[in-house]
Amino acid sequence: MSDSLLPYAVGAANRARRVAVRMRRRVERLQTAPAFASGIRPRPALKAVHFSVLGGRTLNVALVAPPAVDVTAAHLEFVRAGRHLRLDLDVESQGDGTRLLTATTALRYTDRGDLPDTPGEHGPGRAGMALFGGLWRIGVVLTGADGREVRAGVGAVALPTADGPTAPVSPSPDSGAHFRIMRSVDGFAVLKVRAPVHQAELDRFDLRWDRIVVHGRLIARQGPSSGYTAQAVRRGGGTVVQAPLEWQGDSFTFDVPLAEMVAGGRSYRWDMQLAHGRTGLKIGRRLTDVRRRHQVIRTTFRIIALEDGTLLRAHAYITSAGALAVSCVAFEGAPHGAEEVA
């Protein structure tokens, strides 16, 4: 590199370094909960080799046991609003002489009123550890060989900042609740639980030779199922077409009303949604860790033959926002009895 270009290269490197520092600080602020995890009295923090919620619902813990304590038993404590939940940890010896405290359990969301009123500690049941919304303080209780207990916290673990194909944090695919490990302002790990949001989750859609069938489920249902209707809403024009809706529990199925969506020989984009009163819930794929769903979930155009013999070109796809949309247009003068085209 010539001497004349060296200052520009040094300046570009310095700017890139400053941008990286600002991004790291911004991510740290987003991951920091406005609360103290350890209270007023300071306490030691155990280093976490792994401490995360995988798949939106599975808590995985691997902590380094302190060498000064001959740990014979240990457990995690989750504390919020007078509730104490307990998760037993296994003590595993490593080849280098250290010991890890490990555990894996499922997490599930529950309303606070559904928990028992009896005080004391409760461990995870068969369906996993039940948590209600809010910030849960996390502590570790170590039992030594002499029977004495030592209490400590869990040091915060930074989430990866790389923009990969999947997000490091995702909602639970079962309930729609969010379980997220965050950092408190005093440097400890806390668990933030957010209740499910009222939404319509897309499970799949079937592209057939004569129809498009949508399968989904309702999250955080408000009121009876009879209060919901399926709709296709034309983008830009505001035209709404109703579709018969079938229910099985919180799961719903309906056929896209293609015959009523074809008009004027033009291709329109229609958003699929559930209507509940004056609220429209766009049907979409949201309970996933995939970042760019419209690039991963790819579909082809199809030629569909309706009952009256009309041929139309339809495309059901996932938008960049994760919502389900359908565009369709009829062929002018097309013959009847067309076959499906992949």
Query: ∠250-253-257 over CA atoms, to 5°?
Result: 140
Using DSSP bridges, classify how beta strands 48-54 and 58-64 pair: parallel, antiparallel or unpaired.
Answer: antiparallel
> What is the C-alpha to C-alpha distance for residues 178 and 289, in angstroms, rounded to an integer?
12
6 confidence band (pLDDT: 50, 70, 90): low
Using DSSP bridges, classify how beta strands 45-46 and 149-154 pair: parallel, antiparallel or unpaired.
Answer: parallel
Q: How far does Cα 108 stand from its chain's mean position?
A: 13
Q: Lowest mean pLDDT: which of 24-38, 54-68, 140-154, 247-261?
A: 24-38
With tokens 């077409």, the residue in question is 241
Tens of pLDDT, residues 322-336 = 999 999 998 865 444
Tell me the torsion sign for CA atoms 241, 246, 252, 253: negative
Output the average pLDDT for the chain: 84
Average pLDDT over residues 77-99: 90
- pLDDT given at position 339: 37
Please give the residue that has the higher pLDDT: either 224 or 296.
Answer: 224
Tell me the torsion sign for CA atoms 7, 13, 14, 16: positive
340 confidence band (pLDDT: 50, 70, 90): very low
295 confidence band (pLDDT: 50, 70, 90): confident
Look up the pTM and report it. Answer: 0.78
Residue 187 has pLDDT above 90, yes or no: no
Structure tokens at 37: 């995890």
The phi and psi torsions of 226 (rounded to 5 degrees) equal: -65, -15
167 confidence band (pLDDT: 50, 70, 90): confident
Average pLDDT over residues 278-294: 90
Residue 216: other Cβ atoms inside 10 A: 25
> What is the C-alpha to C-alpha distance for residues 30 and 19, in angstroms, rounded to an integer?
17
Q: Hey, is 161 helix, strand or coil?
A: coil
- pLDDT given at position 237: 77
Please give the residue that has the higher pLDDT: either 14 or 198.
Answer: 198
- pLDDT given at position 32: 60
Assess contact for 191 and 76: CB atoms under 8 A.
no
Average pLDDT over residues 277-281: 92
337 confidence band (pLDDT: 50, 70, 90): very low
Structure tokens at 222: 């408000």
119 confidence band (pLDDT: 50, 70, 90): very low
Using DSSP bridges, classify how beta strands 32-33 and 178-184 pair: parallel, antiparallel or unpaired.
Answer: parallel
Assess contact for 106 and 128: CB atoms under 8 A.
yes
Tens of pLDDT, residues 15-44 = 777 766 665 555 555 556 555 556 545 578
232 confidence band (pLDDT: 50, 70, 90): very high
With tokens 């495309």, the residue in question is 315
Structure tokens at 25: 């600080």
Q: Hey, is 296 helix, strand or coil?
A: helix
- pLDDT given at position 254: 97
> What is the C-alpha to C-alpha distance for residues 91 and 168, in angstroms, rounded to an integer?
27
Average pLDDT over residues 95-107: 92
- pLDDT given at position 22: 63
Helices (H), 219-308: 258-261, 293-296
Structure tokens at 138: 């996390």
- pLDDT given at position 180: 92
Tens of pLDDT, residues 139-157 = 999 999 888 999 999 988 8
Structure tokens at 102: 């490990």
Q: Lowest mean pLDDT: which of 107-121, 288-302, 307-321?
A: 107-121
Average pLDDT over residues 247-257: 96
Taking 3-state DSSP, the helix, strand and coil percentages for the chain, each rounded to the nearest 5, stand at: 10, 45, 40
Residue 264: other Cβ atoms inside 10 A: 8
- pLDDT given at position 2: 59
